[in-house]
Amino acid sequence: MASYYAVAERDHDLQNPTSPEKIRQLGELLRLGPERRVLDVACGMGGPAMLLAATFGCRILGVERSPEFVAWGRERIEAAGLRDRIEIVEGDARAYPLESEAWDAALCLGATFVFDDLDGTLDALVPTVRHGGTVAVGEPYWREWPLRRDVDDMGYVPMGETIERIERHGLALTGLIAASVDDWDRYESLHWRALEEYLAEHDDPEIRARHEHDRDAYLRWQRELMGWAIFVGRRR
């Protein structure tokens, strides 16, 4: 049986509600260049890494536990002629040896669940960058607070509290790149198309149930209430 995200995100160049222009903006905020070394945990198929390496010439190490994403990412990197700039290691980022102060920048875009939550992610990533280096985390936040009773907060908080958590880990906020509704709609629509095409050819009740649940939740309340942004912080 195919994994849900291997089906849902097969057509995504970027596996988050963002855009190529915003990823390039991230590279500018990180002050990337040919001498910069970047760690990208839970890098997926390497979409942001490819944009950053191609635009700024930086060297990137990605860590990804999904074998499908690793295989597809390596194929894409090879086809783009970026093999000398990007390496993807297959494995769980929690188990990967994260060397202290070894990186100019560390990224975790939309995958703080790998380290349980935002605090766990910052605990893991802040020590990996040199002093004056940067950490960038893509994270949902709530546009309204408190939430309606029928909406699970899923451990996320409003933007202001998200920034407070980041600053408590020794980072000075130096950038914010928020997703637009168009970014969200494009990201979710690619899910729906891929899943409907898959389900037209496969009898997979589990994937159908999750697809319909996630689509309905997005339309019913997530589109209105949930934001997503890349938060960039400089290690003090």
At 229, the pLDDT band (50, 70, 90 cuts) reads very high
Longest dimension (CA), the chain: 53
Mean pLDDT, residues 80-98 taken together: 97
Per-residue confidence (pLDDT) for residue 75, from 0 to 100: 98
- Per residue in 136-183, pLDDT tens? 999 999 999 999 999 999 999 999 999 999 999 999 999 999 999 999
The pLDDT, as a whole number, for residue 102 is 97
Does 20 sit behind a cis peptide bond, omega within 30 degrees of 0 on the bond before it? no
Q: Each residue of 124-133: pLDDT tens digit?
A: 999 999 999 9
Residue 216: count other Cβ atoms within 10 Å of its Cβ. Answer: 11
Confidence category of residue 209, pLDDT binned at 50, 70, 90 = very high
pLDDT digits (tens, 9 = 90+) for 95-123: 999 999 999 999 999 999 999 999 999 99
pTM for the model stands at 0.97
pLDDT at 58: 98
Residue 80 has pLDDT above 70, yes or no: yes
Tokens 């915003």 label which residue?
22
CB contact at 8 A, 89 and 73: no
Burial tier of 166 (Cβ tally within 10 Å: 0-12, 13-18, 19+): buried
- How many Å apart are CA 36 and CA 30, to the nearest integer? 10
* Alpha-helical segments (H) within the chain: 4-8, 20-29, 47-56, 67-79, 118-125, 159-168, 181-199, 205-217, 223-225
Mean per-residue pLDDT, 15-42: 98
Q: What are phi and psi of 176, to 5 degrees?
A: -145, 125
Asked whether the beta carbons of 41 and 114 are under 8 A apart, the reply is yes
At 91 the three-state DSSP class reads: coil
Backbone dihedral angles phi then psi of residue 127, each to the nearest 5 degrees:
-65, -15
d(CA 2, CA 4): 6
Confidence band for 1, pLDDT divided at 50, 70 and 90: low
Which burial class, exposed, middle or buried, applies to 100 when counting CB atoms under 10 A from its CB (0-12, 13-18, 19+)? exposed
**Cα distance between residue 32 and residue 210, in whole Å:** 38
